[in-house]
C-alpha cells in the first residue's frame, strides 16, 4: 500500500529531496511513521474514504507512483524494507542516511541514463539486500536422490560444444546483449530490475517483476524474427514456462547461493520429469535476471541423470563498460541449438496484412491434404542450391517457399536460423563499432550493436538499437552509396505489448 502526496513546488533533490531527508532524519520520525501506518491499516476501507475527503492527507494506492510528464522526481520511504528510494531506485538505508551534502552528491546517472546511486557512496549508507531464504531438505530431495554427472560445469562441457563462439552464435549473443541493454535504459524496467533484487523468494515476486524476468530470459528462445508483421505469443505467469519443446524456464532468486541454486535445479528437474515421458535430453534454465544456471536432464528408459552449470552472472552492472556477461552468452548459445520445430514456430508468429499461416496453408496445399508437403524429386538441385535460392528471398517470402516441398522447407529453415530484424538477415557482428556509438561518456554501445546483414541477397550494414533516443543518424561504414534509411522503433519488433514491460523497443539504421 502506498501513501503519496504531491508537491506543487520544486521537487529537485536540492529542494524536496533534502526536505524529505531531513524529515525522516528527525528523532523518532520512522517510529512515528510506523505507528501512523499501523493506525491507518487498522481503519481498513474507511481509511481510503476519510483520506479522500481531506485534500491535505495523502492519497492511498495499491500501485506504486510512477514518473510521468507531470512528475519528475519521486522520493519514497519504504518502511517495509527500510529503504529510501528515488524515482523507484533503491538508494539508502533509512537507518544510516547520509547528510544533505552527501545525499545530493550521491544522486547520479548510471551508464544507461537512469537515476542511480553513485558508486562512490559509502557502503554504510547504501540499502541492504535481503539474505537468501532458508532451504529445507525437502527442497533438495530431487537434487540429492538422482545421479548428478557434473556440477558447476562450463556451458561448453554441458552442451558438448566448442569454447569458441561460431559466427552465428556471436550474432545471437550480440543481439541479446542489445535487447537486454534496451531493457536497462528504460527507467520503469530498471526499477523492476532493482525490485527483483529486493525479494527473498520467487514466491514474493509481483506479476510485473515476474514478467520482466521471464521476458528477458525468453528473448533468447523465441524465433529470432522481429518486425511489424511478427507477433510473438504473450507470456502468462506460471511457475514453469516451456520456451521450447525441450527447454523450460523457472524464475528464481539468489542463484549465487548454493542452497537456492540446488533447490531451483530440483524444481526444474521435477517439472521436466512430470511433463516429459519420452527418453531424451531436456534442459532447464533457472533465471533471476542477476544470475542464471542451466541444467541438463538425460532421461533414459532405465535411469535419469542430470548435470548443471555454475551460476553465471547475467545482468550487466548499471555502471558496466561492456554489454557482455557470461550469462547472456550462455543463454544465447542455449537458444541457438537446432530447433526441429523452428519453421512451424515462425509460421505461427508471422502475420501479413492479407495472409497468415492458415491462408498460406490453403494457398499452398492441395484440397483434401493436411500438412503433407508435395514430394519434388530434383536430383540436380541439392539442398545447397535451394539454400542459395532462399538466401535471395525476402524474409517475408521464406514461409511460402518452405511450404513448396521438404527440400525447400529444409533450405528455408537454414536461412531462418539467422536472426531477422525488419526483414534484414543478421549475418555477422560488424568488425568495428560505428563512431556514433563511441561518443565519450554516452555508452551507446551498451544498448546498440552494428551487424553485417543482407536483404534479398543484397549486403548492407545495420545498426540495431535505440537510435530514436539520442537521434543517432550517421553514416555507417560500408554504406557505399551514402544512403541511410531510418526506420522508427515501431518498425522493429512490437515487443512491448507482446512480451512484457521490459520488452525492447529497438530502432534500426541501415
Give the pLDDT mean for 87-114. Answer: 96
* Percent of the chain predicted with pLDDT > 70: 82
What rounded mean pLDDT belongs to the chain?
Answer: 84
Instruction: Tell whether the model's pLDDT for residue 350 goes beyond 70.
Output: yes
pLDDT of residue 484: 28
Give the pLDDT mean for 196-221. Answer: 96
Choose between 335 and 507: higher pLDDT: 335
Instruction: Tell whether the model's pLDDT for residue 51 goes beyond 60.
Output: no
Which residues does 295 contact at the CB level (< 8 Å), separation at least 6? 265, 268, 269, 283, 284, 285, 286, 306, 307, 308, 309
Up-side HSE of residue 333: CA atoms within 13 Å toward CB? 23
pLDDT digits (tens, 9 = 90+) for 226-279: 988 888 999 999 999 999 999 999 999 999 999 999 999 999 999 999 999 899
CA 304/CA 455 separation, integer angstroms: 45
pLDDT digits (tens, 9 = 90+) for 354-394: 444 454 445 444 444 445 555 555 555 788 898 999 999 99
Cα 390 to chain centroid, rounded: 31
CA 276/CA 92 separation, integer angstroms: 47
Give the pLDDT mean for 401-412. Answer: 92
Give the pLDDT mean for 43-69. Answer: 64
pLDDT digits (tens, 9 = 90+) for 480-509: 222 223 333 333 333 333 344 554 444 455
Residue position matching grid coordinates 539454400: 387
Choose between 175 and 497: higher pLDDT: 175
CA 324/CA 172 separation, integer angstroms: 12
Lowest-confidence pick of 42-46, 71-75, 305-309, 315-319: 42-46
DSSP 461: E
pLDDT digits (tens, 9 = 90+) for 386-399: 899 999 999 889 99
Please give the model's pTM, rounded to 2 decimal places: 0.86
Alpha helices in 185-317 (DSSP H): 187-196, 207-218, 258-275
Number of continuous H segments (helices) and E segments (strands) in the chain:
18, 21
Choose between 246 and 477: higher pLDDT: 246
Ordered by start, the domain boundaries in the chain are 2-117, 137-335, 349-509
pLDDT digits (tens, 9 = 90+) for 431-455: 888 888 888 888 999 999 999 999 9
Lowest-confidence pick of 9-13, 183-187, 293-297, 317-321: 9-13
Contact 470, 436 (CB under 8 A): no
CA 344/CA 349 separation, integer angstroms: 9
pLDDT band of residue 138 (cuts 50, 70, 90) is very high
pLDDT digits (tens, 9 = 90+) for 105-114: 999 999 999 9
Amino acid at each position: 500500500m502506498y501513501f503519496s502526496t504531491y508537491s506543487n513546488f520544486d521537487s529537485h533533490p536540492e529542494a524536496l529531496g533534502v526536505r524529505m531527508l531531513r524529515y525522516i532524519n528527525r528523532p523518532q520520525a520512522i517510529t512515528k511513521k510506523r505507528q501512523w501506518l499501523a493506525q491507518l491499516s487498522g481503519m481498513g476501507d474507511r481509511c481510503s474514504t476519510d483520506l479522500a475527503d481531506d485534500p491535505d492527507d495523502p492519497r492511498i494506492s495499491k500501485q506504486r507512483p510512477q514518473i510521468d510528464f507531470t512528475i519528475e522526481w519521486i522520493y519514497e520511504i519504504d518502511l517495509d524494507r527500510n529503504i529510501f528510494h528515488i524515482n523507484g531506485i533503491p538508494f539508502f538505508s533509512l537507518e544510516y542516511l547520509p547528510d544533505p551534502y552527501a545525499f545530493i552528491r550521491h544522486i547520479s546517472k548510471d551508464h544507461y541514463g537512469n537515476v542511480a546511486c553513485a558508486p562512490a557512496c559509502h557502503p554504510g549508507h547504501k540499502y541492504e539486500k535481503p539474505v537468501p531464504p532458508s532451504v529445507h531438505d525437502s527442497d533438495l530431495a530431487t537434487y540429492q536422490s538422482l545421479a548428478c554427472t557434473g556440477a558447476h560445469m562450463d556451458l561448453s562441457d554441458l552442451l558438448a560444444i566448442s569454447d569458441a563462439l561460431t559466427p552465428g552464435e556471436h550474432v545471437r549473443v550480440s543481439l541479446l546483449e542489445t535487447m537486454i541493454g534496451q531493457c536497462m535504459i528504460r527507467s520503469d524496467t530498471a526499477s523492476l530490475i532493482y525490485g527483483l533484487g529486493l525479494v527473498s523468494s520467487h514466491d514474493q515476486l509481483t506479476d510485473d517483476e515476474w514478467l520482466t524476468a521471464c521476458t528477458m530470459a525468453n528473448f533468447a528462445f523465441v524465433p529470432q524474427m522481429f518486425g511489424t508483421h511478427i507477433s510473438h505469443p504473450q507470456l502468462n505467469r506460471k511457475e514453469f514456462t516451456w520456451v521450447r519443446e525441450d527447454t523450460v524456464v523457472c524464475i528464481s532468486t539468489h542463484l549465487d547461493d548454493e542452497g537456492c541454486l540446488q533447490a531451483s535445479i530440483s524444481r526444474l528437474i521435477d517439472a521436466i520429469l512430470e511433463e516429459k515421458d519420452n527418453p531424451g535430453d531436456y534442459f532447464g534454465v533457472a533465471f533471476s535476471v542477476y544470475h542464471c544456471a542451466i541444467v541438463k536432464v538425460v532421461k533414459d528408459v532405465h535411469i535419469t541423470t542430470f548435470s548443471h552449470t555454475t551460476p553465471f552472472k547475467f545482468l550487466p552492472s548499471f555502471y558496466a563498460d561492456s554489454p557482455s556477461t557470461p550469462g547472456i552468452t550462455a543463454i544465447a548459445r542455449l537458444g541457438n541449438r537446432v530447433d526441429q520445430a523452428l519453421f512451424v514456430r515462425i509460421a505461427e508468429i508471422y502475420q501479413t496484412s492479407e495472409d497468415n499461416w492458415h491462408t498460406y496453408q490453403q494457398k499452398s496445399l492441395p484440397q483434401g491434404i493436411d500438412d503433407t508437403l508435395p514430394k519434388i524429386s530434383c536430383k540436380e538441385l541439392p539442398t545447397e542450391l535451394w539454400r542459395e535460392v532462399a538466401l535471395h528471398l525476402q524474409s517475408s517470402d521464406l514461409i511460402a517457399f518452405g511450404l513448396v516441398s521438404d527440400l525447400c522447407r529444409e533450405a528455408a529453415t537454414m536461412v531462418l536460423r539467422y536472426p531477422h530484424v525488419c526483414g534484414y538477415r543478421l549475418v555477422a557482428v560488424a568488425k568495428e563499432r560505428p563512431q556514433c556509438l563511441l561518443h565519450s561518456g554516452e555508452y551507446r554501445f551498451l544498448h546498440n550493436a552494428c551487424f553485417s546483414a543482407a536483404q534479398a541477397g543484397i549486403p548492407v550494414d545495420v545498426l540495431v538499437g535505440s537510435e530514436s533516443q539520442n537521434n543517432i543518424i550517421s553514416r555507417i561504414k560500408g554504406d557505399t552509396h551514402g544512403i541511410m534509411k531510418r526506420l522508427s522503433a515501431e518498425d522493429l519488433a512490437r515487443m512491448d505489448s507482446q512480451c512484457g514491460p521490459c520488452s525492447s523497443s529497438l530502432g534500426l539504421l541501415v
